[in-house]
Amino acid sequence: MKKLWLLIPGLSILWACATFQPAPPSFYIESLPQVVTTQMTLEERLKAEEVWTSIRTGNSAKAEKLLERLNPGNPVYELGRGYVAILLNDLPMAEQSFKTALESRPDLVVAYLGLAQVYEIQGTEDQVLAQYREVLKREPGHSWAKPRYEALRAKKTDSLLAEGKAALAAGQFEAGKRSLLKALFYDPASTEAHLELASAYRREKDYESALIHLQAASSLSPDDKNILKSYADTLYAAEQLGKSLDAYEKLREMDPRNKEVAARVERLKDRLGVFELPSLYNSIPASNAITREDLAALIAVKFKGVLDDSQVKPPIIIDISTSWASKFILKTASLDLLEVYDNHTFLPKKAINRAEFAEAMLRLVDFLSKKGYRFVPQVSPERIQISDVPPDSFFYRPITRIVAYQIMDLTPQRTFQPEAPVSGQEAGRTLDIVLALIK
């Protein structure tokens, strides 16, 4: 018994000497950013790191005392107050502290992360998403914020999609459209939301609004035949016959055995009377830099009478299904007037420079020569000297030959400017020269 009484005071002394260890916080605290610490003196940095260590171990009392040693102008001061306030469950103080930190330093990701967690505790999901967006603007691959942002965005989108579809099914079209448009605010790439909205607008015969969403859905899922057909059908209903024909012809290329689509294409052609060029063709002359699909269209249309009797099996091209000029690309590529790359791509959106354009013009001249048209050089290619295209260049031969035919010209300084873009006006004018030579 005497030993027990001696043991109790000893235990009391040990208990008094023991240091209470608070539980670490349940929220996320990122390390102090270098953008902040590198601008501090060594002494300030050590104080800031000590504050941060106290916060990350959940010791709010120690962190508060240490914060008093920091200058209020130090960015860590308001950041620290914000995270200490979360530890103490003082959310208004935490919110205000993080906002104050961002007033002087709008690039502080750690402050946006703090605000996101304040709003998450408060249950205001829209504000949480807004803070995550600010983080991802600055650090797109942020390992903590990105998956949470995507999960929350998906949750909000799915909820609004279900809400919108239920409203539409109940005949509440305005409420349904509002929910679906809000779903697109959270996820602009939601094909389902675009299609539901298009369907709702079509029922109201608001074809212009329906087409906006069908076009978006088609660009998001370019290989989806059902979406493309809905787009083509809506264009037809809106009396946009030329665009409708383009869409049906793309659909026919994707589904050549579809008799319904083939019949619609023929009916449209009959109704139009003559072949109606895609609207984008008419915009080529105003272009400052034409693309490969533009050039294919110009050649196919301007030389239609010459090319139509040439039947060649089209090559395999994997990247033109959504190009407005796909049929022109197939025509010119099958005749080897424009190159298809070894990986079966055409790169329809790639801009053409003057060297590449000269090479295409020479292919056209050689093709026409084989059909019996005569081209006479106005000067020997060997006599042509170009200061900015070396003789060992791949494009030297086509450039000198095209210049020899006077289809394209050099500058007064005897340069060709091979890397310069080709405008729509220059391309049209050059092709008209070739046309004049074969008449």
pLDDT for res 349 = 95
Average pLDDT value for the chain: 88
Residue pair 319/223 in contact by the 8 Å Cβ criterion: no
Query: Per-residue pLDDT for 66 more than 80?
Result: yes
Domain ranges of the chain: 34-142, 280-438
Burial of 134 per CB tally in 10 Å (0-12, 13-18, 19+): buried
- Grouping H, G, I as helix, E, B as strand and the rest as coil, residue 421 is strand
pLDDT for res 5 = 44
Q: How confident is the model at residue 31 (pLDDT cuts 50, 70, 90)?
A: confident
Q: Whole-model pTM?
A: 0.52
Nearby residues of 78 by Cβ (< 8 Å), 6 or more positions away:
72, 97, 98, 100, 101, 111
The architecture CATH gives domain 34-142: Alpha Horseshoe (1.25)
Beta-carbon count within 10 A of 215 CB: 18
pLDDT digits (tens, 9 = 90+) for 284-312: 999 999 999 999 999 998 998 788 666 67
d(CA 179, CA 164): 5
Q: Which amino acid is at 179?
A: S
> Running DSSP on this structure, what letter comes out for residue 344?
S
pLDDT for res 304 = 82
Burial of 317 per CB tally in 10 Å (0-12, 13-18, 19+): buried
Q: How confident is the model at residue 20 (pLDDT cuts 50, 70, 90)?
A: very low
Residue pair 410/404 in contact by the 8 Å Cβ criterion: no
pLDDT for res 11 = 43
Beta-carbon count within 10 A of 299 CB: 26
pLDDT for res 241 = 85
d(CA 28, CA 276): 61
Beta-carbon count within 10 A of 331 CB: 24
Q: How confident is the model at residue 418 (pLDDT cuts 50, 70, 90)?
A: very high
Q: How confident is the model at residue 18 (pLDDT cuts 50, 70, 90)?
A: very low
Q: How many helices (H) and strands (E) does the chain have?
A: 21, 0
- Grouping H, G, I as helix, E, B as strand and the rest as coil, residue 189 is coil
pLDDT digits (tens, 9 = 90+) for 340-374: 999 999 999 999 999 999 999 999 999 999 999 99
Torsion of CA 368, 369, 371, 374, to 10 degrees: 100
Nearby residues of 130 by Cβ (< 8 Å), 6 or more positions away:
none
Nearby residues of 431 by Cβ (< 8 Å), 6 or more positions away:
298, 299, 302, 303
Lowest-pLDDT range of 67-71, 211-215, 289-293, 361-365: 67-71
Lowest-pLDDT range of 161-175, 215-229, 271-285, 362-376: 271-285
| N- to C-terminal Cα separation, the chain | 126
Query: Per-residue pLDDT for 17 more than 70?
Result: no
Query: Per-residue pLDDT for 72 more than 90?
Result: no
